[in-house]
Chain A
């Protein structure tokens, strides 16, 4: 039985705010201009169109999440930003320079202002923590004395100053990623690319690493581009999100907006992992499509941007003079806003339920009727 389909969904009266992720050219740190990427056929593998018609900008100083399933094209996308790969068509502009047309020495110089961190950390096993951080500086031709000073700063910045002489084999995943971050920041880049940087870490370590990245963004003003397949990572860190599927951008915008009003099925699938979107099993099994005498109508409202102290449930109860039951609730902080859903039981028959829905809609909540329980 699918209760959802048989019931009307009431959306807020007001239209959704327009997506603002196309800043003026001068504000953009990274800009994709009609970018496509095709991997030509090789031996028995057919050619693969990894990206098509990618057109978007990443604002200077922002944290942007790029989310997609594996094979969606997000790895290609991030490698176009630092010139590890070339677009088949279109241009990629980073900090005002078209990195996609650079080659050789010019490209290598440009790459020094773009840092990258990796899922498997990619540290040299033959070098200590300090020497790993020093590697990009050696490559950039810094003097030994300058390198020593800079490495000490970076070790402090990422909070592993006491591990400077340890080899990667002696360090935990979180410590290794801190070295990776320090190494990526060594040459003072404007952009930090993160390729699934927390996917190999446990949840607690993930949180610590994401906090570190947030600090780096705040204090150094580094633009961060996060590639991930985990919506929880986007939720904790990013302000803007780009959802890609099968080489296309299927949805993009402010994280809080996308979390509350996902349009594309792929986005919705990603969100179901993190938002308390699903009705608790015990409740869902009791839901029926027809009103029950003496029972409750079940409604769900999406909340976004409200304060923790919001009194909507209390006001609703007062307005209708009924005892509103709170059946389930989940509210998370997403992109600096509170986002989540409340599932409420409204006693008092059809009239009360209809009044509750119009009251909530009037106060700009997105409401959905789920059914009835005894």
Chain B
């Protein structure tokens, strides 16, 4: 493979990592509180607000059921408003964040719901406020699940990021389509797939390792 092509791969990898990491960060910032709220706002729960919970649930489901490629195109005006342009890796972060936020929210909700309800009662029994319960009980106890949830979200984002090439977002997926598929360069296609596999593997390995590190439920002495 020529040095130019290798450069293209390196550049595309950089774009993918940039899009995915920024989108993952933003989606976590938005998705974590939404997920915690979803997990604690049903009737009788810590922040009981069943109506808000219901509406939020519908919005999250709607966002999750929209195919990503349609979401990308549909929100172009919004993307332009936020990023100033609808083209390029920077602009692609907007749809990626919007797609990943409800995904992360649902994963966070599931992880938080795994925490034994008895612990919430226990903390309430010694006078913890709802926010103290979230920060001192729910998040630390759900941490292994949260780490795995974020790992899963990053892996999914890598997949989504391949599609933003459709709107000039760049990245590995875009490279694979334009060079590998449209220009009949199977070696390019193969190289892109190998890089993606390596990225997913590394993300998953690091995520698994971190989740194990923070899991005190396992005996580790």
| A–B complex contacts, Cβ < 8 Å, 14 sampled | A82-B125, A84-B125, A108-B129, A110-B127, A111-B125, A112-B127, A115-B126, A116-B122, A120-B118, A122-B118, A122-B121, A127-B216, A136-B128, A186-B126
A67-121: which have CB < 8 Å to B? 82, 84, 105, 107-112, 114-116, 118, 120
Instruction: Please state if B125 and A135 are interface contacts (CB–CB under 8 Å).
Output: no
A47-82: which have CB < 8 Å to B? 82
Of the four ranges (under 10, 10 to 19, 20 to 34, 35 or more), the interface on chain B belongs to 20 to 34
Least distance between A150 CB and chain B CB atoms (Å):
14
Interface centre among B124, B127, B217 (most CB of A within 10 A): B127
Instruction: Please state if A116 and B219 are interface contacts (CB–CB under 8 Å).
Output: no
Chain A residues whose CB sits within 8 angstroms of the CB of B183 once the complex forms: none
- A120-B118, A167-B216 given as contacts; is B127 within 8 A of A126 (CB)? no
Instruction: Please state if A116 and B126 are interface contacts (CB–CB under 8 Å).
Output: yes
C-alpha gap A139/B116 in the complex (Å): 19
Total A-B contacts with CB atoms under 8 angstroms apart: 73
- Contact of A278 with B by CB under 8 A: no
Instruction: Name the segment of B53-61, B134-142, B148-156 touching the other chain.
Output: B134-142
The main secondary structure of chain A at its interface with chain B is mixed
Instruction: Please state if A139 and B125 are interface contacts (CB–CB under 8 Å).
Output: no
Instruction: Please state if B128 and A108 are interface contacts (CB–CB under 8 Å).
Output: yes
- Interface mask (B32-53 → A, CB under 8 Å = 1, otherwise 0): 0000000000010000000000
Q: Which of B124, B132, B141 contacts A125 (CB 8 A)?
A: B141
- Contact of B110 with A by CB under 8 A: no
Interface centre among A112, A126, A139 (most CB of B within 10 A): A126
The main secondary structure of chain B at its interface with chain A is helix
- Contact of B63 with A by CB under 8 A: no
Instruction: Please state if B132 and A118 are interface contacts (CB–CB under 8 Å).
Output: no
Instruction: Please state if A139 and B124 are interface contacts (CB–CB under 8 Å).
Output: no
Instruction: Please state if B216 and A125 are interface contacts (CB–CB under 8 Å).
Output: yes
- A118-B118, A169-B219 given as contacts; is B140 within 8 A of A127 (CB)? yes
Least distance between A304 CB and chain B CB atoms (Å):
37
- Contact of A319 with B by CB under 8 A: no
- Interface mask (B182-221 → A, CB under 8 Å = 1, otherwise 0): 0000000000000000000000000000000010111101
Instruction: Please state if A84 and B116 are interface contacts (CB–CB under 8 Å).
Output: no
